[in-house]
Structure 1
Amino acid sequence: MSSDTGQTLDVRAIRACFPALEAGTARFDAPGGTQMPRQVIDAITEALSRPLANRGPLTEGGRNAEAIVTGARRALADLLGSEAGSVVFGRSATQLVYDLARTLAKDWGPGDEVVVSRLDHDSNIRPWVQAAEAVGATVRWADFDPATGELGAEHIEAVLSGRTRLVAVTAASNLIGTCPDIPALAALVHGAGALFHVDAVHYASHATVDLSALGADTLVCSPYKFLGPHLGVLTGRRELLHSLRPDKLLPSSDAVPERFELGTLPYELLAGATAAVDFLAALVPGTGSRRQDLRQAFTALASHEDRLHGRMEEGLATLDGVTVYSRAARRTPTTLFTVAGRMPEEVSRHLAGRGVDAPAGSFYAWEASHRLGLGEEGGVRAGLAPYSCDEDVDRLLNALDVPRR
């Protein structure tokens, strides 16, 4: 994901904000969840240290809770190019997609078709497959090119029809980093009269998200992938969200977005999510709105990560027996690789013993891993984050203990 910017990240200052980095490990596990800066930790602590109660105007605890929720909706709307009133919070992106799939499937039946992609994380496959099967709708599969890692318009167009009700595609593969041309796919899907759901869980960690520009009708992300706490976020077009009737408790609010939120929200985690967005917005000095500062920050972040990513893959290319599966022209700074004669888990264990955290597996991208011929074992995944540095890349390459070609 190449970008150019006049501003650069102060990586040393960024790293100083992350207590977990004091352990001294070179961390390449960001695609599975980033470390948390002190500012986010402090925001969570502060929220828990002040009075909290169910949201409402009468007590200090209720007002604090209301302010946290309102602030979090605004922050995530700024991050996602959405509206605060269209930001839904849940336990995880997986939970939110399951809820959304069950809700949309109320209007599906035999003869209707749903399209899913083999490039995706299973949380953007199985909920749609299971919801379709439950109502007798047909599931159609969009393949990607295993040689290049690309998911192109031709792959989606091949499975669209006049009966397609919804297409679900990732904005970035959590396994190999591929970033499909989402606006082009959206145009195809909408041309067929279907809804378009986008999984931005991996994408939102590395690029500016804009709901409208992407052409997504609905979209999910997870703050713990971009320096925040563990929860999920869904947003979508306002008119669509207002038209949906999810299952809910009778006394609970029927207003949007509360209509989609089951039970009391985790106020302290929402405070942490707001702090994570603010931390990202402040990665480089900014003087505009939070949305403008985020755009500028992600441009600088992409430049930093692209440089490190190129250095890492150039190094891997010199190592004998190393095969890299991340080959798409446009992708996140995420590399999946294997080492000849060694199981991925063995390589990951070897690296961990040398202070390098690069996990192995298929990472819930079950279909993609099998499409690549890697099965359930998958490969070793090395992903970058704002706190990644040149020394980390050097440690990874040296710790592999593989002869050069």
Structure 2
Amino acid sequence: MALDLAALRAHFPSLASGLAFFDGPGGTQTPRPVADAVAAAMTAPLSNRGTVSRSELNAERAVADFRAAYADLLNMPANGVVHGRSATQLTYDFSRHLAKGWNPGDEIVLSRLDHDANVRPWIQAAERAGVTVRWIEIDPETMELDLASYERALTSRVRLVAVTAASNVLGTKPPVRRIADRAHEAGALVYVDGVHYAAHHLVDVPALGADLFVCSPYKFLGPHCGVLTAAPEFLETLRPDKLLPSSDAVPERFEFGTLPYEILAGATAAVDFLAALDPGTGTSRRERLTRSLESVHTHELALRTRLQEGLESLGDAVTLHSKAPDRTPTLLMTLEDRDAHEAQVHLAARDVVAPAGSFYAHEPFAALKLRDPALRAGLAPYNSSEDVDRFLDGLASFV
């Protein structure tokens, strides 16, 4: 199993700029087949969905293909796949849908490790419903979730546990299945933010134990949108506010207004592109995705090791905060007596794109007392060892 990196990189027009991109956790570069799919959908005959004209059928096909692609990517039924503008929008929507069944005295459990998109919507919904918020804390020594604090937070009154599958700043991957099993024993639903996780691993939602799972195609080579999945029979139990004439079928009842068919086509193309990276002999798209994403993981792990060893060689000038044993190829660092934004500017002058900030990770930064801004280097499938060396050389010249 191996990636043909030169062939892979040739699909990305933006790489011809000479830039080395380490901002994948905020959104990856776009391969030409994805952009072509968007353009083809927009320039073909296209109307609102229907069953009569060719333009109506093109719209229907874009929706059906999108649901089938994300069913394969996430190992879920196609009629359990919901499109949204972003993971944040979907989480806000479903926080309101679920909170309709909450009552004063109920509780929810959130994680200090999470991006604010899987924190603030739940806090705000809980405040409106008179529901208590409890927390899973972070162990500052390991950068992993403190599961003892989870056990203390989990009571028979908990209605929902929301947790990330991977931290967008530290890369830490919590034991989601263990967390989900305990939540289910307590009678709670489990909402998993898979935005960062899905960019680096093949997702199996049933294996994770998630009742609801959300991800963002633009984090793994697709266009800007969000995807939520849940069992169709569970979605049938939720009654969102909606326009009276709009479809009440699942999953359409959760998709408000006309769908962006061109974005759906691009998101489908992203899944097909991933499946073709190292397809081997797999016959189904799921089998091809399994093999390809295993190869991506191997490639990114080698680059992460090279990057980490290079950072460690800089000594006390760089403090690396990403240190959980099980994590993605994303490294968060602070610089001794130096401003990370200045490092970003220094690297950018050398055509290395590595952002500085707190990246909407309000709770991790507050809980760990991390300096804001911090510098984040996140790897993507198109990164090369030369990219890593350019980052390290640029940072060494800065510190």
For residue 169 of structure 1, give the secondary structure of its aligned residue in structure 2: strand
For the 8 Å contact 1:82–1:211, the answer to whether it is kept is yes
| AA matched with 1:350 | H
- Structure 1 CA distance for aligned equivalents of residues 373 and 167 of structure 2: 14
Deviations 1:280-328 (A, max 9, x none): 0001033320011111111111000000000100000010310000011
Deviating 4+ runs (over 2 angstroms): 152-155, 401-404
- Does 2:160 correspond to 1:132? no
Partner of 1:380: 375
Task: Confirm whether residue 225 of structure 1 aligns to residue 204 of structure 2.
Answer: no
One-letter code of the match for 2:385?
D
Aligned to 1:328: 324
Which position in structure 2 is the counterpart of 1:318? Answer: 313
**In structure 1, C-alpha distance between the alignment counterparts of 2:322 and 2:177, rounded to whole Å:** 22
Matched to 1:288, the amino acid is T
Aligned pair partner of 2:176 in 182, 186, 189: 182
Residue by residue over 1:59-81, the C-alpha shift from the partner in whole angstroms, topping out at 9 and shown as x without a partner, is: 11110000010000000110011
The answer to whether the aligner puts 1:257 opposite 2:257 as a matched pair is: no
Task: Determine the structure 1 residue equivalent to 2:385.
Answer: 390
Q: Which residue in the other structure is 1:201 paired with? A: 195
Residues 164-189 of structure 1 show CA distances to partners (whole Å, capped at 9, x for unaligned) of: 00000000000110000111111111
Q: Which moved more, 1:155-164 or 1:169-178?
A: 155-164
Partner letter of residue 392 of structure 1? D
Count of matched residue positions in the alignment of Structure 1 and Structure 2:
397
Give the C-alpha shift of residue 378 in structure 1. 3.6
Rounded Cα–Cα distance in structure 1 between residues aligned with 2:397 and 2:44: 53
Determine helix, strand or coil for the equivalent of 2:153. coil
Aligned to 1:3: none
Amino acid at match of 1:340: E
SS in 2 for 1:129: helix
Amino acid of the structure 1 residue aligned with 2:360: Y
Give the superposed CA RMSD: 1.1
1:122–1:366 CA contact under 8 A, matched in 2: yes
Tell me the CA shift for residue 403 of structure 1. Answer: 8.7
Q: Write the distance in 1 (CA, Å) between the matches of 2:147 and 2:332.
A: 24
Tell me how far 1:131 sits from its aligned partner.
0.4
Q: TM-score, normalised by structure 2?
A: 0.98
- Alpha carbons 1:197, 1:216 under 8 Å: kept: yes
Where does structure 2 lack aligned partners over 5 or more consecutive residues? none
**1:353 is aligned to 2:349:** yes
Residue 186 of structure 1 contacts residue 196 of structure 1 at CA under 8 Å; is this kept in 2?
Answer: yes
Aligned mates of 1:311, 1:205 — CA distance in 2 = 20
> Greater shift after overlay, 13-22 or 393-402?
393-402
**Which residue among 120, 139, 145 is the counterpart of 1:145?**
139
Gap regions ≥5 residues in structure 1: 1-6
Paired position in structure 2 for 1:305: 300
- Corresponding residue for 1:28? 22
CA contact under 8 A between 1:153 and 1:184: conserved in structure 2?
no
Structure 1 distance, partners of 2:141, 2:378, is 21
Give yes or no for contact 2:20–2:351 (8 Å, CA) kept in 1.
yes
Partner letter of residue 309 of structure 2?
E
Shift of 1:152: 4.4
Q: Shift in Å at residue 372 of structure 1?
A: 2.0
Cα offset, 1:402, TM superposition? 4.8
CA contact (8 A) 2:106 2:157 kept: yes
Alpha-carbon separation, structure 2, partners of 1:155 and 1:185: 12
Query: Secondary structure of 1:97's match?
Result: helix
How many angstroms apart in 2 are the aligned matches of 1:108 and 1:390? 50
One of 57, 68, 71 as aligned partner of 2:65: 71
The AA in structure 2 aligned to 1:319 is L
Query: CA shift at 1:401, angstroms?
Result: 2.7
Report the equivalent of 1:238: 232
What is the rounded CA distance, in whole Å, between the counterparts of 2:43 and 2:298 in structure 1?
38
The answer as to whether partners of 1:222 and 1:231 remain within 8 angstroms in 2 is: yes
Give the superposition deviation at 1:338. 1.2
What does the per-residue CA deviation read over 1:218-274, in whole Å, with 9 as the maximum and x for residues that have no partner? 000000000000001000122211100011111100000000000011100000000
Matched with 1:4 is none
SS of structure 2 residue aligned to 1:185: helix
Distance 1:207 1:213 in 2: 13
